[in-house]
């Protein structure tokens, strides 16, 4: 496959383990994952990672809701390493566009990862701002689109086509929900997919014989029933 797999998480030990995995090409995190993992010191957590990971893309997100403070945070985060990408949400919580902020950061040489995108219109609107970044990611949350009952595949296909001609930009298939999403992302030419550790562990199952998998499933049910001591 040509799609690059980025490990998505916020457990430092697991992230460092993923860094050593030859299947992994980058790492991403966000404030929600960090909260769930019990991270208390944002800067300490990030800098411990950047101290050990210098040759693989790392994405860390700003967390202010004020655009001017977002920019200050972005510049600090960017300074932690040449391989660091700064995640900027497509808007703040008030719905105010971050277009000018992203454009400004690009002019200052910041690698930007625009996040929380759900529509082709958002992608088209943000390209003029991010196109002048030294490198840029556009994260489209395909998994969250699917959560609404909408098929994300046509959207992702169109999104990938929109950045043709911009060699410094790459599309991220974000919020991966299942292993098959990796296959889907690869088939449409999506450059990157962010994948949680739980799904990365399933990658060896790709192309597994279905008859063999069926037998393994039957054995699992039998073993679990036997060990539980069930009777009727």
Residues marked as catalytic: 87
| CA atoms of 58 and 44, how far apart (whole Å) | 15
CB atoms within 10 A of CB 155: 18
Task: Name the DSSP letter for residue 178.
Answer: S
| CA atoms of 8 and 194, how far apart (whole Å) | 6
Two tokens, residue 54: 């210098």
| CA atoms of 189 and 24, how far apart (whole Å) | 18
| CA atoms of 97 and 123, how far apart (whole Å) | 12
Contacts of 123 (CB under 8 A, 6+ apart): 117, 138, 140, 159, 162, 163
DSSP labels, 54-72: -SS-EEEE---SSHHHHHH
């Amino acid at each position: 496959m040509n799609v690059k797999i980025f490990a998505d998480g916020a457990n430092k030990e697991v992230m460092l383990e993923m860094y050593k995995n030859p299947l992994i090409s980058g790492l991403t995190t966000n404030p929600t994952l960090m909260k769930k993992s019990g991270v208390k010191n944002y800067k300490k957590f990030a800098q411990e990672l950047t101290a050990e990971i210098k040759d693989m893309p790392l994405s860390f997100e700003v967390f202010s809701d004020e655009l001017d403070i977002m920019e200050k945070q972005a510049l600090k985060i960017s300074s932690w390493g040449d391989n660091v990408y700064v995640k900027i949400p497509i808007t703040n919580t008030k719905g105010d566009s971050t277009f000018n902020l992203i454009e400004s950061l690009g002019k200052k040489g910041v690698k930007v990862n625009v996040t929380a995108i759900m529509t082709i219109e958002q992608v088209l609107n943000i390209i003029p701002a991010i196109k002048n970044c030294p490198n840029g990611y556009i994260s489209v949350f395909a998994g969250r689109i699917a959560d609404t009952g909408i098929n994300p595949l046509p959207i992702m296909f169109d999104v990938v086509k929109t950045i043709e001609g911009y060699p410094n930009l790459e599309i991220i298939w974000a919020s991966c929900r299942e292993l098959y999403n990796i296959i889907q992302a690869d088939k449409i030419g999506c450059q990157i997919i962010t994948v949680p550790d739980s799904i990365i562990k399933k990658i060896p199952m790709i192309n597994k014989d279905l008859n063999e998998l069926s037998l393994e499933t039957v054995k699992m049910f039998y073993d679990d029933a036997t060990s539980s001591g069930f009777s009727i």
